[in-house]
Amino acid sequence: MSGLRILVVDDSALGREVIAGLLAGRGHEVATAESGEEALEVLEAGRFDLVLMDLELPGMGGTETASAVRARDDRVPILAMTGHPAHEQRSRCMACGMDDFLEKPIRPDPLFAAIDRAMGKACRADALKSLAGNEGLLEKVVNAFREEEPRLLAKLRAAVESGDADALRRHAHTLSGSMRYFGETRAASCARELEAMGKAADLHGAAEALAGLEAECARLKSALEA
């Protein structure tokens, strides 16, 4: 099971090393850039789920780079990293389309909490697009997912324990479909992996895959609530 693809933009080699190490420790795939110009080149070459952006960059600054990123991609969350108190930077960061703030030095708990918030925002944004911007309907969809998810996970556990490949396929397909409104999430990817195992009638590794799905579903629910 893969994590998020995250771009870390920081002109400090030490800063990039620390942040990349923290993210890799959580299973995320990390790319780095030393400047705003390099960040735009990296983003042009591939899709990322999240961008961590230092505000003080040589040449093109962090807010200018974020504005350029936002002009290309209205979805990817951008988290500002600053050595100054976040409240001093909030207005200009919001104006250029950033989503959240992290004060340096970067610490694990605030970092991962901000990522969860950002991904929840992205999931909700994807859902709103698919629901024609209807906030009320979105809340109903989120609540329905909260109610349905534990029942489907219980059925998947029973299918894995009994070796019932067809039941695994069916319930994984249903769960994957219930998450389709939230965009391309890791939870949906895990559900599709289990569905493929059931379709192939090959349950080798299904218990481990199910454990990954359960963890990702918990994270998705937490992110949506955040």
Domain boundaries, position 188: 135-225
Q: Cα 154 vs. chain centroid, distance in angstroms?
A: 25
pLDDT score recorded for residue 1: 33
Same structural domain, 33 and 73: yes
**Residue tagged 């489907």 (tokens):** 152
Same structural domain, 14 and 71: yes
Residue 81 counted as domain residue? yes
Residue 125 counted as domain residue? no
Tell me if 5 sits within 8 A of 48, measured CB to CB: yes
Beta partners for residue 34, in sequence order: none
Same structural domain, 155 and 221: yes
Q: Three-state SS for 150?
A: helix
pLDDT score recorded for residue 109: 92
- pLDDT tens figures, 168-211: 999 999 999 988 888 777 788 889 999 999 999 999 999 999 99
Q: Cα 13 vs. chain centroid, distance in angstroms?
A: 25
Residues 6+ apart with CB under 8 A from 190: 1, 209, 212, 213, 216
Same structural domain, 220 and 181: yes
Boundary residue ending a domain (60, 91, 106): 106
Residue 186 counted as domain residue? yes
**CA dist., res. 113 & res. 125, Å (int):** 18
pLDDT score recorded for residue 72: 85
How buried is 215 (Cβ within 10 angstroms: 0-12 exposed, 13-18 middle, 19+ buried)? middle
Residue 40 counted as domain residue? yes
pLDDT score recorded for residue 53: 96
Same structural domain, 85 and 10: yes
Q: Three-state SS for 51?
A: strand
Residue 117 counted as domain residue? no
- pLDDT tens figures, 106-159: 999 999 988 888 877 777 777 888 888 898 998 998 899 999 999 999 999 999
Same structural domain, 19 and 85: yes
Residue 166 counted as domain residue? yes
Q: Cα 157 vs. chain centroid, distance in angstroms?
A: 25
- Total domains in the chain come to 2
pTM of the model: 0.64
How far CA 188 is from CA of 12, 76, 162, 215, in Å, comes to 35, 18, 23, 12
**CA dist., res. 82 & res. 103, Å (int):** 5
Boundary residue ending a domain (106, 122, 156): 106
* CATH number of domain containing 56: 3.40.50.2300
pLDDT score recorded for residue 118: 81
Same structural domain, 200 and 139: yes
86 band by pLDDT with thresholds 50, 70 and 90: low
